[in-house]
């Protein structure tokens, strides 16, 4: 007796049996997802770096400005010191020149006095015209040399006696002369600029 063939059972899709939990979907691998939005900390960090750089630049500029002020002050102080030195050196040179002139003049003045006396002695003397002429030339040459360095003679006849400019060698009553007036110049004085190089020696009315 032939056995009846059974039709194969239709395949049914796998379904979870009762009590089994469905498997969760596997997570996507890292790095596959799109770019994440930057967080607040990531945005603030570049701003902080920029502020720090600005602050550093400002500090450098302030330091350079301070250095520039120091250099300017140093230059001004050096210039002032140089000007003071130049003025002091000029004063010292002028003082040294004046001292030299005064020393030389004081050495020459006695010779000038001798020439003055020689001229007075030769004045009116018979046969002394040639001698007097020669003495006058020498006398005039010496006075001109003194004048070139600022030294001039002065004769205070008739002036009031001034102890700063005159030296009294005698005092005597003189008719018609006011007391304290210079009535005779015994020796001329010499001045250098506004100062007295040698006071005039005079006779004063008493």
Pairing status of strand 182-187 against strand 200-205? antiparallel
Percentage of residues of the chain with pLDDT beyond 90: 21
27: left (phi over 0), alpha (psi -120 to 50) or beta: beta
pLDDT value of residue 2: 45
Say how far apart CA 142 and CA 65 lie, in whole Å.
65
52 pLDDT above the threshold of 80: no
Strand locations in 19-63, DSSP E?
none
For position 126, what pLDDT does the model report? 66
- 86 or 39: which leads in pLDDT: 86
DSSP SS3 for 35: coil
Distance, CA of 193 to CA of 97 (rounded, Å)? 13
pTM of the complete model: 0.54
Q: Residue 158 pLDDT more than 80?
A: yes
The confidence score (pLDDT) of residue 165 equals 93
Per-residue pLDDT of 167-182, as tens digits, reads: 999 998 888 889 999 9
Structural contact between residues 189 and 165, judged by C-beta atoms closer than 8 angstroms: yes
3-state secondary structure of 171: strand
| Cα distance from N-terminal residue to C-terminal residue, the chain | 199
Q: Would you state the pLDDT for residue 58?
A: 78
- How far is it, in rounded angstroms, from Cα 170 to Cα 161? 12
Are the beta carbons of 101 and 151 closer than 8 angstroms? yes
In CATH terms, the superfamily for domain 152-206 is Head domain of nucleotide exchange factor GrpE (2.30.22.10)
CA 159 from chain center: how many Å?
Answer: 47
Question: What are the extents of the domains in the chain?
Answer: 152-206
What does the pLDDT read at residue 81? 83
What average pLDDT does the segment 14-36 reach? 50
Identify which has the larger pLDDT, 97 or 104. Answer: 104
């Amino acid at each position: 007796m032939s056995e009846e063939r059974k039709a194969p059972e239709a395949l049914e899709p796998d379904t979870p049996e009762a009590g089994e939990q469905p498997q969760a979907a596997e997570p996507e691998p890292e790095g596959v997802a799109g770019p994440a939005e930057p967080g607040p900390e990531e945005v603030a960090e570049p701003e902080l770096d920029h502020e720090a750089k600005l602050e550093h630049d400002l500090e450098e500029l302030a330091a350079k400005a301070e250095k520039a002020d120091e250099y300017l002050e140093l230059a001004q102080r050096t210039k002032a010191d140089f000007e003071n030195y130049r003025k002091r050196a000029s004063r010292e040179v002028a003082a040294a020149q004046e001292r030299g002139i005064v020393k030389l003049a004081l050495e020459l003045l006695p010779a000038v006095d001798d020439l003055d006396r020689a001229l007075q002695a030769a004045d009116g003397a018979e046969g002394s015209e040639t001698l007097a002429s020669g003495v006058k030339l020498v006398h005039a040459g010496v006075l001109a040399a003194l004048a070139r360095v600022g030294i001039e003679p002065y004769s205070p006849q008739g002036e009031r006696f001034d102890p700063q400019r005159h030296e009294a060698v005698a005092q005597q009553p003189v008719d018609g002369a006011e007391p304290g007036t210079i009535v005779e110049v015994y020796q001329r004085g010499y001045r250098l600029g506004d100062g007295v190089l040698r006071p005039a020696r005079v006779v004063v009315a008493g």
